[in-house]
Structure 1
């Protein structure tokens, strides 16, 4: 059999051994620790109750800085702290918001009742003066 120009004819592969030995490297890829910067930024802008959002933002930035320098232990520690502070900020923000809604509706209701009472008293006083 003639070999085409530019191609070589290779010898057949050797027979395979009876036992296979598999060698390889297992690469374990870990997820980088979370830094919660976006959640902290949201809490800082919208729910900054008692400055918890700002403190969470500081810890989030520390966690991101630790990730950049490949200090995964520090990034994990600061990330967990930021997460806890963010959750506290959200919980306190919800409680404060609900409390403010309840208080404002109660005050508005009491003010309206007092206004109506004052208006009725004024009308009674006017009708009393008309008859006298």
Structure 2
């Protein structure tokens, strides 16, 4: 949890909306890939996601990116957060989204929100 956020690593809360997670996934995939750790707010563990949150997180790349972002989810179980979080009581989880870099065409979310420089009239669009 002490790793700084950068172009290869980001933290998100379980409260993130699926479309917002998709934007982060697209940004990582269109760059060099990286890891998005979901379940952390202000460097403290969120605890456990609800069943609905867990399902929405896993579905975000399929429902909100085109083509679907290549990724793997690693679920890290933390039975006793103890020193990791003073606010979390009981077990916690972190969902690590390992995002692969996209080597084909630029990815975008299905609402056509493209990263800067990836508009319809840019040279980057034709790569």
TM range (shorter): under 0.3
Which has more radius of gyration?
1
Q: Which has a greater percent of helix?
A: 1
State the structure with bigger RCO (CA 8 A, min sep 6), 1 or 2: 2
TM-score by length of 1: 0.20
Which structure has more strand as a fraction of its residues? 2
TM-score with structure 2 setting the length: 0.21
